[in-house]
Amino acid sequence: MAEQNGMEKPDLQALPTINDRMTFLYLEHCKIHREDGAITARDLEGTLYIPAAAITVLLLGPGTDISHRAMELIGDTGISVIWVGEHGVRYYAHGRALNSHSTLLEKQAKLVSNTRKHLDVVRKMYEMRFADADVSGMTLQQLRGREGARMRKIYREQAKKWDVSWDGRKYDAEDFSASDPVNQALSAGNVCLYGLASAVITALGCAPSLGFIHVGHEFSFAYDIADLYKAEVTIPLAFELAAEEPPDLPNIMRRRVRNVFSETKLLERMVKDVKYLLQESQPQEQQEVVYLWDNLKEHVEYGISYGKYEEEI
């Protein structure tokens, strides 16, 4: 077999951290390949070169054709890939984590599986939405009720501000055009928010499926994290654009959401918020760490023989 050209697979330490990357890039109607360390997107107007390690999420819209070599580079550099239909909101794949330790994943699993600690994380998530309100004495049912009232108020305020008709969050994933303009904009913007949340979670080595408020779905934790920012990012933009009535609302919404991501440094906030929720106080170095589990010492050193020569057969 002929030798393949291209850059060598990068070490994890050589990759930019999740904080230093662009949020997401949307491509459609093009052929995607790779040239050394860059992803190339070619259409009738020419070729675009995209530094692979500078992207967090790659949204692939209709008419995209991607090569195996490009996917290899995407996997090695930790990019999350989302295939979407013309107006779809489907998440299909993600790249590898940008770290090589399981510290946060282990903490996430422990918090999810312990009822008291699980509830503590849920409370922290609601506290982040309710600003300075004290929710320590509220039950989970009361918290859900208060959150529902908060969201209904936000929707009403935005509808009044932009003089847009609003009859609730209604959408059909199989029929995008059946929704009103506000709901179309919300769907288009939220998929970008879910993609960014999934990318951050994966890059930190956590599991998108182990959620706290949302459970039972492969992206439950991504929905948890994304919900922290909808009131300040996608909801105001959706009503504003619905009032403006642009000719290509989904595309305009994606671009405006991307601008807000950059202006508010949302990617950096997500990283900090995920670590805060999972109680990580000390940064972890990116290094290869493997231990052997031990029921008495928690873990013991890997890579040495624990057998005695006289016991060998």
Q: From the annotation, which residues make up the binding site for Mn(2+)? A: 147, 214, 227
3-state secondary structure string across the chain: CCCCCCCCCCCHHHCCCHHHCEEEEEECCEEEEEECCEEEEEECCEEEEEEHHHEEEEEECCCEEECHHHHHHHHHCCCEEEECCCCCCCCCCCCCCCCCCCHHHHHHHHHHHCHHHHHHHHHHHHHHHCCCCCCCCCCHHHHHHHHHHHHHHHHHHHHHHHCCCCCCCCCCCCCHHHCCHHHHHHHHHHHHHHHHHHHHHHHCCCCCCCCCCCCCCCCHHHHHHHCCCCCCCHHHHHHHHHHHCCCCHHHHHHHHHHHHHHHCCHHHHHHHHHHHHCCCCCCCCCCCCCEEEECCCEEEECCCCCCCHHHCC
Tell me phi and psi for residue 17, to 5 degrees: -70, 165
Q: Which residues are annotated as a binding site?
A: 147, 214, 227
Pairing, β 46-51 against β 38-43: antiparallel
Rounded Cα–Cα distance for residues 50 and 37 (Å) = 9
List the one residue out of 259, 250, 221, 248 whose CA is nearest residue 85.
250
Cα dihedral 169, 91, 28, 269, rounded to 10, equals: 80
List the one residue out of 224, 225, 232 whose CA is nearest residue 157.
232
